[in-house]
Amino acid sequence: HGGAELDEIGTEALPRRTPAPAWLPTAKGEEGDFCLRSSDCAAGLCCARHFWSKICKPVLREGQVCTRHRRKGTHGLEIFQRCQCAEGLACRLQREHGPADASRLHTCQRH
């Protein structure tokens, strides 16, 4: 019966796993949640400026309007940033049936 006592003492001495404190972020941010970088957001979302803060926004899908930056660094000047196009898509000038340059709209399109 002495061995059983040692086993009980041994298990009591082991640290118990406790759940993470409530203030620790355990899940990735959902759409509309505040963020600092895209890795703070759940899959399919990116961290983009919205007014003077940053929130998780959806990555753009095929056919959605996107922002094409002509000069490097202009992305930081936007008050309402959009995410990049999803993988396999590129932000290109929308093909319109009509006169050339009738629309300057860019959309996410397959490569």
Residues 40-93 have pLDDT tens digits of: 999 999 999 999 999 999 999 999 999 887 666 555 567 899 999 999 999 999
Cα(67)–Cα(105) distance, integer angstroms? 9
Backbone angles phi, psi at 54, to 5 degrees: -125, 140
CATH superfamily of 33-110: Lipase, subunit A (2.10.80.10)
The residue behind tokens 């899959």 is 43
pLDDT in the model for residue 99: 58
Q: What percent of the chain has pLDDT over 70?
A: 61
Q: Which residues have CB under 8 Å from 25's CB, separation 6+?
A: 40
Check if the beta carbon of residue 47 is closer than 8 Å to that of residue 41: yes
Nearest by Cα to 25 from 16, 34, 17 = 34
- Give the helix/strand (H/E) hosting 92: strand 89-93
